[in-house]
C-alpha cells in the first residue's frame, strides 16, 4: 500500500484543527467553571491555557512560512515531532510570563467575577 505524502499532510491539518477545537472547548468549560464557582485560580488556569493554544497556533503558522530544505527532509514524522514540540513549548511559555495575553484576559475576566460577587 502506497501512502501519499499529500494525504498525510491533509490528515495532519485535520488532526490539528480537531485538537485546537478540543482545546478551545476545554477553555470554555474551564472559564464557565471559574465563573460559576467564583474561583480566581481556575480563571487564571483557563487564561493560561488559552494563551498556550494561541502561542501554539502562532508557532505553527510561523513554521509554515519556512521554506523546505535543510538537513532533515520533510516527512510525516517530522511534522508530528514539530507539532508536539510546538505544543510543549507553548505550554511552557504560557506557564511563565508568556506573551502577556493570559494576564490581560485574567484582569478583564476577573472583573466579571468580582461584579458577580458584588451582585450576590
| Range(s) of the domain holding residue 55 | 31-60+72-111
Nearest to 69 by CA among 81, 60, 78, 56: 78
CA distance 58 to 85: 13
> pTM for the whole thing?
0.73
CA distance 88 to 94: 10
Q: Is residue 36 part of a domain?
A: yes
| 29-75 per-position pLDDT tens digit | 888 888 888 888 888 888 998 999 999 999 989 988 888 777 777 78
Q: Is residue 101 part of a domain?
A: yes
CA distance 85 to 68: 18
| 75-118 per-position pLDDT tens digit | 888 888 888 999 999 999 998 888 999 999 999 988 877 666 66
Widest distance between CA atoms in the chain: 65
Q: Is residue 87 part of a domain?
A: yes
Q: Is residue 89 part of a domain?
A: yes
For the chain, the domain total comes to: 1
Amino acid at each position: 500500500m502506497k501512502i501519499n505524502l499529500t494525504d498525510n499532510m491533509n490528515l495532519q491539518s485535520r488532526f490539528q484543527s480537531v485538537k485546537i477545537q478540543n482545546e478551545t472547548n476545554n477553555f470554555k468549560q474551564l472559564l464557565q467553571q471559574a465563573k460559576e464557582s467564583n474561583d480566581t485560580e481556575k480563571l487564571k488556569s483557563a487564561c493560561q491555557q488559552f494563551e498556550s493554544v494561541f502561542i501554539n497556533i502562532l508557532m505553527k503558522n510561523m513554521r509554515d512560512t519556512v521554506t523546505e530544505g535543510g538537513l532533515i527532509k520533510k516527512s510525516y514524522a517530522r511534522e508530528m515531532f514539530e507539532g508536539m514540540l510546538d505544543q510543549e513549548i507553548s505550554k511552557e511559555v504560557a506557564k511563565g510570563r508568556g506573551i502577556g495575553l493570559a494576564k490581560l484576559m485574567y484582569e478583564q475576566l476577573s472583573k466579571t467575577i468580582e461584579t458577580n460577587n458584588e451582585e450576590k
